[in-house]
Chains A and B, each alone.
Chain A
Amino acid sequence: MNRELLKFLAFSAMVLAAPLYFKGGYLMNVLVFVGIYTMLAIGLNLLLGYAGQISLGHAGFFGMGAYLSGVLTATYAWNPWLAMPLAAAVVGVVAFLIGLPILKLKGHYLAMATLGLGIIIYIVFNETIDLTGGPSGLSGIPYLELGGITFDSDVKSYYLVWSFALLVILFAVNLANSRVGRALRAVHDSEVAARVMGVNARLLKVQIFTLSAVICSLAGSLYAHTMTFIAPASFGFNFSVELLTMVVIGGLGSVYGSFLGAALLTLLPEFLRAAQDYDIIIYGALLMLMVMFMPGGLVRGIPDFFKMVIKGRRGAGNA
């Protein structure tokens, strides 16, 4: 546990110091989104990496959080700090009610069901034009405010978003090492065995599904308030797939892996921009190569790689 705490403190220090390095350049802005995506990836990772349940519809929960916050504050002039927990609560209830029947399904049937769910939610954003503004989007969402500070610049948004992201990380790390986390891993390995051991597997799965949806909803609210404009296209099937990719590339079941995955997938297109029209090809190829050569994700692949390099050096030194 102490080691976990140390890791967390080191990571927090890095996060807090990063703005000094980037000095308000545009990468600051990109890092705001890395923070939001980290929350999303951790949310999905709880479900996928810990409980072993796939979801291809998490962009839907992200969108619900964003739209509930957005509509309540922009159209009905609610206080954003009130709208955010309410949005999370609504998303939680919805996820729980949907999770009850859906999580009985397994494997690709669950993938299908969550995919369908995501698409239905997306269509609702698109079609309820009077409420959400439809495909043209919803603008005029206020920035968040706290104690006289308006979070309207990249640096301020960065600290706001990352405070939430760090809380989520802390929570996820603790959860993983708790009784619940162990029960989850048991369900992951063998649901029947877990049941025999007295774990209420079904309820546990629904609970973790709900929890992961709530985290996504929070990320959605933050997204809405930092962008101040939202449109359904950001919450479609493609984004669900991107989230899944973040989690897997980062490393299943690893909290910091989710951060690595989110950071890589957000920053990679920025670096590939130099490749112009070839960027999409390189992106696809890198995705495949990474799964081939780092099947455990970045979080396991990077240390392995360094170990190999060190071993290689030693080998070379001996010879």
Chain B
Amino acid sequence: MSKRTTGLAVEADGLTRSFGETRALDGLDLQVPAGTVYGLLGPNGAGKTTAVRVLATLLRPDGGRARVFGHDVVAEADAVRGRVSLTGQYASVDEDLTGVENLVLLGRLLGLAKPAARQRAESLLAAFGLTDAAGRQVKKYSGGMRRRIDIAASILSTPDLLFLDEPTTGLDPRSRNQVWEIVRAVVAHGTTVLLTTQYLDEADQLAGRIAVVDHGRVIAEGTPGELKSSVGSGTVHLRLRDPGRRPEAEKVLQAALGVPVQLEADPVALTARVRGDGSDLDASEQAARALGELARAGIVVDDFSLGQPSLDEVFLALTDHPAVEADERDDQLEAAR
């Protein structure tokens, strides 16, 4: 265990990779400390999946180099494969096969004898709450179950580094929480997890460090707190009891916060971005002051929340362009694959 939790799990230096005209990776640098959850955060088409595929030995980089636990991903691909596993964005299990068949198949491929593979499959299915679905084809699983069998397949032989490519995209909140719990258990056990995600709150919940990726390179890196404070803003959401007081509330808020206030479709709701100078306290102080002003004006607030900056806001702050614009790029990448 100590061997696994020291040093760097991943070191990437200036990775490049193009698909036709598109530069999916454009000089990506990365250092992932072993024994942690590391988040690659970015919009669709930013190059996250390409980066994971290069690190998992599925794609050769055009330029640059990458090592996983000191092994070069191109020259020593086999040594890397012995220590990693990958849960891809799309099911990395055979959908025609049942849950138990998938796990036995992979167990056999990892060198387990038939009875041992069977036993391992059964205990994994039990731990992942899939015993009842063991004999059903994976294509009949729900999204959350599919993710779980996928992750179970990835830890068949407990890897030192687990790649999770957008593990919660498309999942309902309950399934997402289940995946989060599983990721926490995996990392607590000593496995390094490299996670890609489009959601800041997911990276925030799970990752010790985050690299923000855009156009194939890392544009910011740090702990979740550092990243958020570099953006230095949050969003205040308010719901009033009386919709008639909304114009008045808008004026009060604008005066207190010094920012434009947005009126939502819901006639009692308002939102405003709070500028801060970097500390969370600052944003909450401003929000508290605004609440006080509203109370003084006799406006009843039923619901109040101060939200973190969203990925969009982080992106805007870091790149001056919104996070969602990469759709065509993504399509190109898909086609190039």
Asked whether A and B interact, the reply is no
